[in-house]
Amino acid sequence: MANPALAEIQLRALLGQAQALRQAGRLADSIAPMQKAAALAPRHAPIQHDLGVTLITCGRAVDAIAPLRRAVAADPRFAQAHWRLGTALEMAGDSASALAAFERACALEPKLAFAQFRRAVLVAQEGRTTEAVEAFRLAAAAAPDPGFRLRSEARALLIEGDNAAVERVLREWQAISPDDPDMNELLGTVLCDAGRFEEADPLLEKVLAADPRRTGTFYELLRGRRVGQADRGIIDRMEAAALQPNLGPIRLGRLHLAIAKAYDDLGEYEAAMMACDRAYEARRIIQRADPIAFEASLAQIAQRYDAEAMRAAPALGTPDATPVLIVGLPRSGTTLMEQIISAHPQAAGGGELPYWPGRGDPHEAAKGKVRDTAFLRDCAGGHLQLLRRLAPDAMRVTDKNPFNFIWAGLIHLAMPNATIVHCRRQAIDTALSIHQTGAGPPAFPTGGPELVSYMRAYDRLMAHWRAVLPADRFLEVDYEALTADPEPVIRRIIAFCGLPWDNACLRPELNPRSVNTPSKWQVRQPIGRGSVDNWKRYEPWLGPLAELKPGP
């Protein structure tokens, strides 16, 4: 039988050794004695928690999960342990489990600001915007310092689309903490979105100088510039950064996409494709797509939202014609389309709103009635309220979440006078651009045969909408035709939206609104054909994407 007194002496000695190492600045060396202490006391929640926190701090988030799970098992009401477990899970790429841990922490201790903040980030990613804003504001109210309060308020304002207020809040934060990397990264990103790249670059460089492990900052930095031969040094920095241990799949994936962007700008396409492939492999570690389930879900939607249901729309829905839904695949020209329409003085751009997935997904999961008038009018009312809050005086307001292509039937039933604009682009160019940018929600594949399968399923659903939606509500625009001869195509788009002609729509690159997509630099340039047939530069290295090449 083990001697409890001896075990207690060993435990105290190990904890003392770990503390001494931490005080000497040797945090990584303190892990070994802490692990031994945790093995001696597997039901001691504080020891398990402290080991998990140390592992997270040392960049070993995956290793931190087990001791933090032991901490919450030993003490289910240990709110800080739930929060730290959520942090480790999120860093490891398990967003669903991370959100559950954050929600448990917040339920136990609503004023735990850091848990509220991370909960808000993940809830926003799921499209639950109202909950996200509420959680960010709870984090702001409970903030331990002014910087964290301003950070939380800025994130709430970003969701609400008030970009001017976001910058004011961030400038206030900057005055308090000019060297805070979180502040500099967020402000730099906001300035990039507004097209103010020269202002953003020094802030983003400052972040990288302060913390080389924030590798995602390279992605933001390079999305706002063209890399030339004089910038070779930044590639060397990124390649070195990729060798750091325990970066995690999210950081590593974004870093490889930034490397790919740099090589693409330099015309070194084989190196660019290799970096894209590495980014995809990193993403697959945390999220494997399910093409079979995706295809089945789209087939079910097409079956439920059939021609007969669409004919009933005028009697079921809300007649307001304010919304313009811009749909398609990521990287199919949806950002350019929104810039064209929102350049009109009587229109406004709402950006990629997560509204319809947030309504459609639960309704489909519950097998809700297709012709549920109360549900449809509630959907329309919520969407219109959101659009009017973003642009109270606009005649038309865009919602350019590309994945609203899934919900085109539901949208038409809820708002039969809304305009739906479908952006089409050559499949192989679209797929390559998705692979190059990592565009799409977490469950969406960005390469491999999975992406090919998803795009085939998308084509089938769009063929269905083409057949059943009214021709005067559903407009399809080919990217290649738009870029070849912009004016006649743009005139047709503006007329279809029910707007009088305005020449401003011919110069979307002058549109000053913020753009939070990988196209933020590209849409600041005049309309051109530089991206048409881009796949030909990459033809030897396309791999599974080659299935999407056009026929002879």
Looking at the fold, whether 296 and 280 belong to one and the same domain comes out as: no
Looking at the fold, whether 414 and 485 belong to one and the same domain comes out as: yes
Domain assignment of residue 297, yes or no:
yes
Looking at the fold, whether 271 and 300 belong to one and the same domain comes out as: no
Calculate the alpha carbon distances from 241 to 215, 237, 252, 277 in Å: 7, 6, 9, 17
Angle at 504 between CA 499 and CA 509, to 5 degrees: 125
Looking at the fold, whether 461 and 369 belong to one and the same domain comes out as: yes
Domain assignment of residue 238, yes or no:
yes
Structural domain for 362, as ranges: 291-548
Q: What is the DSSP letter of 349?
A: E
DSSP assignment of 238-255 equals HHHHTTSTT--HHHHHHH
pLDDT digits (tens, 9 = 90+) for 8-51: 888 999 999 999 998 999 999 999 999 999 999 999 999 999 99
Average pLDDT over residues 63-74: 96
- pLDDT surpassing 90 at residue 360: yes
Domain assignment of residue 510, yes or no:
yes
Strands ordered across the beta sheet of 323-328: 347-349, 396-399, 323-328, 419-424, 474-478
CATH code at position 429: 3.40.50.300
Would you state the structure tokens that stand for residue 113, as one six-digit string? 């600001």
- pLDDT surpassing 90 at residue 2: no
- pLDDT surpassing 90 at residue 239: yes
Q: In the chain, what percentage of residues exceed pLDDT 70?
A: 99
CATH code at position 236: 1.25.40.10
Q: How many domains are there within the chain?
A: 2
Looking at the fold, whether 297 and 263 belong to one and the same domain comes out as: no
Q: What is the DSSP letter of 354?
A: -
Higher pLDDT, 169 or 2: 169
| CA distance linking residue 89 with residue 94, whole number of Å | 5
Q: Confidence class of residue 398 from pLDDT cuts 50, 70 and 90?
A: very high
Q: Confidence class of residue 538 from pLDDT cuts 50, 70 and 90?
A: very high
Q: What is the pLDDT of residue 1?
A: 41
pLDDT digits (tens, 9 = 90+) for 191-232: 988 889 999 999 999 999 888 888 889 988 888 888 999 989
Among 263, 286, 309, residue at a domain's last position:
286
pLDDT digits (tens, 9 = 90+) for 128-139: 777 889 999 999
Looking at the fold, whether 232 and 324 belong to one and the same domain comes out as: no
Angle at 236 between CA 234 and CA 238, to 5 degrees: 70
Looking at the fold, whether 366 and 450 belong to one and the same domain comes out as: yes
Among 286, 301, 317, residue at a domain's last position:
286
Domain assignment of residue 353, yes or no:
yes
Domain assignment of residue 41, yes or no:
no
Among 256, 286, 316, residue at a domain's last position:
286
Domain assignment of residue 142, yes or no:
no
Domain assignment of residue 163, yes or no:
no
- CB-based burial label for 549 (10 Å; 0-12, 13-18, 19+): middle
Looking at the fold, whether 265 and 225 belong to one and the same domain comes out as: yes
DSSP assignment of 127-187 equals T-HHHHHHHHHHHHHT-SSHHHHHHHHHHHHHHHT-HHHHHHHHHHHHHH-TT-HHHHHHH
The candidate with the shortest Cα–Cα distance to 215, out of 433, 448, 26, 59, is 59
| CA distance linking residue 444 with residue 547, whole number of Å | 18
Looking at the fold, whether 257 and 344 belong to one and the same domain comes out as: no
Looking at the fold, whether 518 and 476 belong to one and the same domain comes out as: yes
The candidate with the shortest Cα–Cα distance to 461, out of 321, 300, 312, is 300
Q: What is the pLDDT of residue 551?
A: 80
Looking at the fold, whether 266 and 378 belong to one and the same domain comes out as: no
pLDDT digits (tens, 9 = 90+) for 463-499: 999 999 999 999 999 999 999 999 999 999 999 999 9
Looking at the fold, whether 479 and 366 belong to one and the same domain comes out as: yes
Q: Confidence class of residue 543 from pLDDT cuts 50, 70 and 90?
A: very high
Domain assignment of residue 206, yes or no:
yes
Q: What is the pLDDT of residue 440?
A: 81
